[in-house]
Structure 1
Amino acid sequence: MYTQLAEIAQPTSAEFTSPQSIRLTFSKRDHTRNLKRNLSKSVLITTPTEPVSTGYEDNDDIVLSLVSPTLSLRAILRETNKSTPNARRFVEIWLGDRLVVCKDVTNVHSKFYSDEFVSSICFSPDDSSLLYIAELNPPEAGSTDTFAKFRYTPHFGEGLPNLKRPAIFILTWSASEPAQSEVAHLYQLSIDTQYAEPVHFGQAIFSKTSPTTLYATGYEQSPDGRLLGIKYCFNRPFGIWRIQVDLPSAQAQTDGNNSTTATVVRCTAEKLTSSDLSCRSPRTYINQNKEESLLYLSCPSGGPHASTSTLHISSPPATLIPPTDATASFPGLYAPFTLARSCILSHPTWDSPKLITHSTWGSRFTLALVSLSSPITVANLTPLDLSHFSYTLLTTNSHTSFVCVRSSPSTPYQVLLGSIDPAQPFSVSFMKIHEPTLPPFLAKSIASLTTRVLSVPNCEPVETILIHPPRDAKKTESDDPPPLILIPHGGPHSTSTTEFNPLQAALALSGYTLALPNYHGTPGFGESFVRSLIGKCGTLDVNDCIQALRHLFDQRIALSDPRKTFLLGGSHGGFLAAHLIGQFPGVFGAAVMRNPVVSGGDTTGSDIPDWYFAEFGLERRGSEGPILDAQPTTTSAVRTVTPTVYNSLYNASPTQYVHGITTPVLLFVGSADLRVSPTQGMGYYHLLKGAGKKVEMLIFEGEGHPLEGVEAAKVGCEAIMDWFKQVKDGQ
């Protein structure tokens, strides 16, 4: 069952290719080939109710693509023969079905960036240039530095270990003869920041009014020379910069389409944001005064690794949405790390354009529409219904339409076209333009799952997502409830939401009730709720989880019987799982921990060593601003694990409870995990083994923190079911 669930194609992006057509891209797991495939399909909106779509096309050699704002051009970053010594890279510009530019950049730079944290692709406002991010080729020994290729260069951390030297490239083209292809020139930007330490630039975009002005996010190093991991971390030393570019005239260029080099262009840059804020995701739009405005998001530098986002505007400088505590109408903005490439809606009758984004709103993702002029209003376009759908934004047409994905535990990914009524900007209608084609038995099985969200008494606003297995018609209310798996999320500042999840669906369809508690520290419930966990990891979050479980026992949703009560958690969820079986022996019949944090004092080998200091109330200033524009010359600028600090971290860690554990433990460890060192899980295995406890461990070679490889995810699901089944069946 898991294999079929996991192979449902997941929508990853969308773009309007004409006013009536949309191109969708998907990621699909292929268990036969043990890889993830990139697919696309086109949808034509012919009537208000019946879209017409093509079949899937294989796009495995397309890294990124983009349609220009005028809808006349399409850019493709293409890499052939990936993961082989013969890999080749090309930048293509298409005009309809005509390839007008094809630039071979194989020897110019290394891989294109396509991640959600640093990458970018953007047309200039006049459709004459394309901006993208790529990895510079590694340095080679030269006359000035014979050791250049061996010098240490920090990378962007977990999930991004090959991102070390991002560079902004600009491809320009000019018409030659009408019947011929365009003549293209490639430039690499060398950016002078006036900083002593390097600043890496990503998320770059063109100004909407000038092809010589860029906005970008600058990623700074901490005082100890680290690039602290940015994946899932919103509190890093990064800010918004304005870059001025003066490209040589086309007449001065001789490189042409066949050149294997890029012209290096020196640029100046100015940081626009304060170093006490971690600012990201610049976006521009033309405001009601016909002037360009710059939007961006921020979180406080340091502290929780994810918290309430602030929305800023530059013209005039103002905070549109500040951090806030939850109210009945708005819990605060919890936007993704990067806003959609196209996230602005506008209409001539509106006072100003509006921003649309998905945001965590309680235990689900919703679509938030934000007015960009006073009075600032935030509207939830996707009110809660009995289906508990979560929504994520893919793109807009820059007018009154947008494309989004919705799903729930019982409904796999549907793609919707949303249309806003210009006369009532907070009123939206949806049309389904894609849903997966499933075998009838699988569709029926998934639809039989039911979802509820329960509040936890005396822990408000803590709540638990419940996913119930298919109802057994032969059972009555007096019969025992199904076995339960408690699944605390990681982070701790992440959120369990009502999105479709293949692993969770497979477990529920195997007869388990799933309980996903959103404990103190979870985003989506106000800024105070996020910060309430700081310094209380291992106590407050553990108490929330056990209280959530006891409430389920009281409601007879689950039976207080270790043969029917199980535990599954990864990362900080693994930390909680280890605490729960240690502090409450005999409650859980079996536990599975995926890359767990078990020793707070072991910060080595992690791309986010500051996490241990911040979350346990021992703030590490190395992740705080000001970073580079200050003078951190004292040793106190970088915290180390002294005996006193280690003692505090040990006392908050679950390893102290090893000898009292009675629950059998299965550990999953990714050998390439850069977030939580593999030595943590391995060390915990040996502690349990040495104490005579029942423990097993699976090592996934080459897997990182999420254990999301095709084979690793499948084996993990099978091992979880087998581990729990042994206890459930009394083996």
Structure 2
Amino acid sequence: MEPPLLVNTEDIAALYRELSQFPSLSSACIGPEITTQYGGKYCNIYTEWSQRDLERAENVKFCRQYLIFHDSQSIVYSSPSGNCTEIKGELLSRDSPSGAQKAVLRKTSNNKGEEKQFLEVWEKNRKVKSIELSALEKHGQVYEDDQFGCLAWSHSETHLLYVAEKKRPKAESFFKAKAPELSVEEELTKTEQGDKAIKGEQFVFYEDWGETLVAKSVPVLCVLDIESNNVSVLEGVPEHISPGQAFWTPGDTGVVFAGWWHEPFRLGLRHCTNRRSALFYVDLTGGRCELLSDDTKAIWSPRLSPDQCRIVFLENMAYGPHQQCSRLCMYDWYTKLTSTVVEIVPRQSQGEFTGIYNTALPERCWAADSQRVVLDTVQRSRQELIVVDMRSGSVCSLTKGSPLGSWTLLTIDRDLLVAKFSTPNCPPRLMVAFLPPAGKEAEVNWVCLEESNQIQEITWNIHTLHPPPEQDNTQYAGLDFEAILLRPTEAPEKVKFPLVVTPHGGPHSVFTISWMLYPAVLCRMGFAVLLVNYRGSLGFGQDSVASLPGNVGTQDVKDVQFCMEQVLQKEPLDPQRVALLGGSHGGFLSCHLIGQYPSTYKACVARNPVVNIASMVGSTDIPDWCLAEAGLPYDQSALPDPKQWTEMLLHSPMQYVDKVQTPVLLILGEEDRRVPPKQGLEYYHALKARGIPTRVLWYPGNNHALAGVEAEADGFMNIALWLIQHMKL
């Protein structure tokens, strides 16, 4: 029996509008602790959220505050403080260490549409500083991204540290008419100010850091003296290093930062935690720069302990898989020694810790005792909060006994934890708890500050898969993997749901049991959705990650197909109505599957898919990915030889295009630097030439994520209608 399915365009649009209104929780900070006249304590929690506004075609950012009454060990009472307020123009904001002041980096536009950046300082109920940074002409645009960007108060609260683009020399045409001659004094003044334009430099190419970091080329560390309004650019950073993620040293004598090598050229940095980088210290007085960590690895997210004695950071091997299992390392400021606190985990023991997989530590992650660190990490198909004892290296889960779902740490301050929790049928909730004393972490008691209604119409579960013996990887034998299945809850007996199979991108990424808009809407429409964490996904141990390079297009493809076949046998699903939906490497797998199993899938949707690794290598911001995932060595100074070009092609879905029978919808972002849209067009032309029904959606102003509100909404509607049309629903 076929279940009722939502097929009317207006009904689908209304459903998408309804579910897209659930906001996403992006950040939180905790205000100073206040003691009342009766001895009770309370503090304020400031949170920032983001919500899609379909009418304005943008993500709206807003804040909400909450009051927490506590006794330093447990929460006595909590309540929202007023309603939400939209935030406009804020790029970055940070409270000072005492909480008495707040710094804000703000973007504004004038009547001519010209953008300006202001650095503001707020105190109590007023703005005490507003400095137009662009007018000072000390640097270019300030970086607001989470790769390089920072806004750090000095411990004395007299200076602000941030990262900006290095000021470029002015350029002019060779043929520009000469200006009237200046006096010797005017000429000297102009030269000293660096205003003299250089001829012929108007169109010089400045290499940037790729996807989502376009126009970010040479970052510099900048310091604002709040009293004098003077901005200075720090000297001493090596020429071959791009600095970011900076903070003040104990005593404010210098700055510690993560530095990425950019010679001989820059490789894409977003989602690539394998780029050669190290921890550095630059002295403010002498401009001396000192290397603090191994300079052959990749590091990120350095965080100073409350007692200002230790710096924790994450470390990976340089090159290889773009994301992998990481080490948690610690640098002692006074002994100058670096130690590994949590090692890479090759393989998970039964039910045990699988390692650390994290793209960024929260800005505040240390417990008040400066001996423990709290972070979130993927553990198989879940995201959990863990606490690490920095002396012993022991790891304890803070969420194991809590509701099953995915947890993200937003901040911890004075041992008050603020976290986000969600599941595939529960939009994000705001959770708070006090971190128990060392050794008693499992006794944590979570309190929900902001509820969200569970969507009763969606049911989900996790399937564990063991590949058949003939598909086992002999080098990494015995690996298993998982998949998350969402399906409609209410169904008459013997109903079989149409199935949308979705492998994730990366390939070294993972689906977790968290809130995701597209799967939720598809499920509410009447589809079952299978999210596949094939071997090579994060969260299953480093062996799983290492098993995939050299085997893309075979091992991952077989995992998805095997998973789909197994779930069809165990769940009420219709084998005659199965479709594919994947993006990036998930699109790569979707195109492989319709070529290798041409009679299985009734429809396919590929978002910014990799279709030909050989043709992608010369146009992507991550050429190393193309060789590494094909199992080949990467050398920045060497071109691939003919055998390597062939090998890359033989790992690509393009080799199976002659076998494709499935109608394909391609969704492409015009500004995609990761998988340039010509990849999708290459596949489109090949399918058109062979008479396969195909269509392209082309979104200007969108990059690899296709996350623009308009593109995301329009893309979903077209996906839904494509599935309905070609699955004969």
- TM-score bracket, normalised by the shorter chain, equals 0.7 to 0.9
Map residues 240-251 of structure 1 onto 2, 5 A cutoff. 240-246=279-285
Tell me the CA shift for residue 84 of structure 1. 6.3
Tell me the CA shift for residue 143 of structure 1. 5.2
1:372 aligned partner: 390
1:448 aligned partner: 457
Distance in 2 between the 1:506 and 1:650 partners?
A: 36
1:669 aligned partner: 668
Matched, 1:185 2:198: no
Match of 1:591 among 601, 604, 608: 604
Deviates more, 1:14-23 or 1:267-276: 267-276
Tell me the CA shift for residue 52 of structure 1. 2.6
Map residues 389-400 of structure 1 onto 2, 5 A cutoff. 389-397=405-413, 399-400=414-415
1:37 aligned partner: 60
1:236 aligned partner: 275
Matched, 1:4 2:18: yes
Match of 2:49 among 26, 30, 33: 26
Tell me the CA shift for residue 134 of structure 1. 2.2
Distance in 2 between the 1:60 and 1:727 partners?
A: 43
The residue identity in structure 2 corresponding to 1:311 is L
Tell me the CA shift for residue 355 of structure 1. 0.6
1:261 aligned partner: none
The residue identity in structure 1 corresponding to 2:273 is F
Change in Cα spacing, 1:99 to 1:547, as seen in structure 2 (3 Å) is same
The residue identity in structure 2 corresponding to 1:158 is E
Partner SS for 2:252: coil
Tell me the CA shift for residue 427 of structure 1. 2.5
Tell me the CA shift for residue 421 of structure 1. 2.2
The residue identity in structure 2 corresponding to 1:580 is L
Match of 2:150 among 113, 120, 137: 120
Partner SS for 1:54: strand
Alignment check: 8 A CA contact 2:61 2:87 kept: yes
The residue identity in structure 1 corresponding to 2:50 is S
1:634 aligned partner: none
Change in Cα spacing, 1:676 to 1:514, as seen in structure 2 (3 Å) is same
Q: Deviations over 1:72-129 (max 9, x none)?
A: 2211111222896332322122222233332221323443322121111111112121
Match of 1:457 among 466, 481, 494: 466
1:172 aligned partner: 225
2:316 aligned partner: 299
Distance in 2 between the 1:23 and 1:372 partners?
A: 29
Change in Cα spacing, 1:37 to 1:83, as seen in structure 2 (3 Å) is farther
Distance in 1 between the 2:247 and 2:652 partners?
A: 44
Alignment check: 8 A CA contact 1:334 1:523 kept: no
The residue identity in structure 2 corresponding to 1:666 is L
Partner SS for 1:525: coil
Alignment check: 8 A CA contact 2:603 2:727 kept: no
Tell me the CA shift for residue 166 of structure 1. 1.8
Alignment check: 8 A CA contact 1:49 1:431 kept: no
The residue identity in structure 2 corresponding to 1:320 is V
Tell me the CA shift for residue 329 of structure 1. 4.8
Partner SS for 1:656: helix
Tell me the CA shift for residue 331 of structure 1. 3.9
Alignment check: 8 A CA contact 2:534 2:560 kept: yes
Distance in 2 between the 1:355 and 1:505 partners?
A: 34
Alignment check: 8 A CA contact 1:222 1:228 kept: no
Alignment check: 8 A CA contact 2:396 2:441 kept: no
Partner SS for 1:666: strand
2:191 aligned partner: none
Change in Cα spacing, 1:84 to 1:131, as seen in structure 2 (3 Å) is farther
Distance in 2 between the 1:159 and 1:698 partners?
A: 21
Map residues 707-718 of structure 1 onto 2, 5 A cutoff. 707-718=706-717
Q: Deviations over 1:31-78 (max 9, x none)?
A: 111111221111112472441332111212111111122222211111
The residue identity in structure 2 corresponding to 1:728 is M
The residue identity in structure 2 corresponding to 1:313 is M
Alignment check: 8 A CA contact 1:451 1:466 kept: yes
2:246 aligned partner: 204
Deviates more, 1:709-718 or 1:613-622: 613-622
Partner SS for 1:588: coil
Q: Deviations over 1:265-287 (max 9, x none)?
A: x8332222223210111111156
Distance in 1 between the 2:306 and 2:50 partners?
A: 34
The residue identity in structure 1 corresponding to 2:61 is N
Deviates more, 1:330-339 or 1:714-723: 330-339
Alignment check: 8 A CA contact 2:64 2:80 kept: no
Partner SS for 2:443: strand
Alignment check: 8 A CA contact 1:275 1:301 kept: no
Distance in 2 between the 1:594 and 1:184 partners?
A: 47
Change in Cα spacing, 1:66 to 1:116, as seen in structure 2 (3 Å) is same
Partner SS for 1:657: helix
1:257 aligned partner: none
Match of 2:331 among 314, 318, 321: 314
2:12 aligned partner: none
The residue identity in structure 2 corresponding to 1:456 is L
Distance in 2 between the 1:666 and 1:593 partners?
A: 6
2:102 aligned partner: 74
1:684 aligned partner: 683
Tell me the CA shift for residue 560 of structure 1. 1.9
Change in Cα spacing, 1:234 to 1:192, as seen in structure 2 (3 Å) is closer
Partner SS for 1:23: strand
Tell me the CA shift for residue 198 of structure 1. 2.8
Count of residues paired in the alignment: 659
Matched, 1:60 2:79: no
Distance in 2 between the 1:87 and 1:51 partners?
A: 38
Alignment check: 8 A CA contact 1:75 1:94 kept: yes
Tell me the CA shift for residue 132 of structure 1. 1.3
Tell me the CA shift for residue 184 of structure 1. 2.9
Matched, 1:469 2:494: no
1:16 aligned partner: 30
Tell me the CA shift for residue 163 of structure 1. 1.5
Partner SS for 2:563: helix
Distance in 2 between the 1:395 and 1:298 partners?
A: 21
Distance in 1 between the 2:652 and 2:110 partners?
A: 42
Partner SS for 1:344: coil
The residue identity in structure 1 corresponding to 2:507 is P
Alignment identity in percent? 29
Change in Cα spacing, 1:422 to 1:83, as seen in structure 2 (3 Å) is farther
Distance in 2 between the 1:616 and 1:458 partners?
A: 21
2:207 aligned partner: 154
Map residues 574-613 of structure 1 onto 2, 5 A cutoff. 574-602=587-615, 603-613=617-627
Tell me the CA shift for residue 238 of structure 1. 1.6
The residue identity in structure 1 corresponding to 2:254 is T
1:633 aligned partner: none
Matched, 1:487 2:502: yes
The residue identity in structure 2 corresponding to 1:334 is I
Partner SS for 1:190: coil
The residue identity in structure 1 corresponding to 2:329 is H
**TM-score for the superposition, normalised by structure 2:** 0.87
1:101 aligned partner: 129
Alignment check: 8 A CA contact 1:592 1:720 kept: yes
Partner SS for 2:678: helix
Tell me the CA shift for residue 169 of structure 1. 1.4
Tell me the CA shift for residue 137 of structure 1. 4.3
Distance in 2 between the 1:103 and 1:329 partners?
A: 54
The residue identity in structure 2 corresponding to 1:341 is E
Alignment check: 8 A CA contact 2:140 2:166 kept: yes
Distance in 1 between the 2:353 and 2:550 partners?
A: 23
1:517 aligned partner: 532
Tell me the CA shift for residue 644 of structure 1. 1.3
Tell me the CA shift for residue 203 of structure 1. 0.4
Distance in 2 between the 1:311 and 1:169 partners?
A: 28
Alignment check: 8 A CA contact 1:331 1:362 kept: no
Tell me the CA shift for residue 415 of structure 1. 0.8
Change in Cα spacing, 1:334 to 1:639, as seen in structure 2 (3 Å) is farther
1:360 aligned partner: 378
Distance in 2 between the 1:271 and 1:286 partners?
A: 23
Alignment check: 8 A CA contact 1:481 1:558 kept: yes
Tell me the CA shift for residue 384 of structure 1. 6.3
Tell me the C-alpha RMSD between the 2 structures. 1.9
Distance in 2 between the 1:167 and 1:147 partners?
A: 25
